[in-house]
Amino acid sequence: MQGGDRVLIEGLEVRTVIGIYDWEREIRQTVRLDLEMAWDISRAAKSDDIADTLDYKAVSKRLIAFIESSSFGLIEALAEQCAQIVLQEFSVPWLRLKLSKPGAVRGSENVAVLIERSRQPS
């Protein structure tokens, strides 16, 4: 998606059960989300009213609750579910979501998937 306004949430860290190995299924690990969401901010810019914008706190709280209670094998699956929650529940038309699993590969700082999704017209 080119142009347009964006609302960003960067570096949202959540502990969850994630991974395919037996030892990973028994512990909680940190995942990190970076979200870029298309959103027309012009109404909120004029009104200075939270009701006229995308409530990034509500988005964050919803994703934290979902991730903390989830149990996925792959970061790909978790990323897709998070994207669908934001698209469907918050009426975001387009988003780019990066889901990172710091320290997942020895010698690397981070591994991640980066996805872009659009809401399907109803």
103: region left, alpha or beta (phi > 0 left; psi from -120 to 50 alpha)? left
- Catalytic residue (one of 57, 61, 98, 101): 101
Q: How far apart are the C-alpha atoms of 101 and 74, rounded to whole Å?
A: 10
What residue type is 86 in one-letter code?
A: V
User: Which residues, 6 or more positions from 116, have their beta carbon under 8 angstroms from its beta carbon?
Assistant: 1, 94, 95, 96, 97
Q: How far apart are the C-alpha atoms of 4 and 74, rounded to whole Å?
A: 32
101 has catalytic annotation: yes
Q: How far apart are the C-alpha atoms of 7 and 64, rounded to whole Å?
A: 17
**Which residues are known catalytic residues?**
101
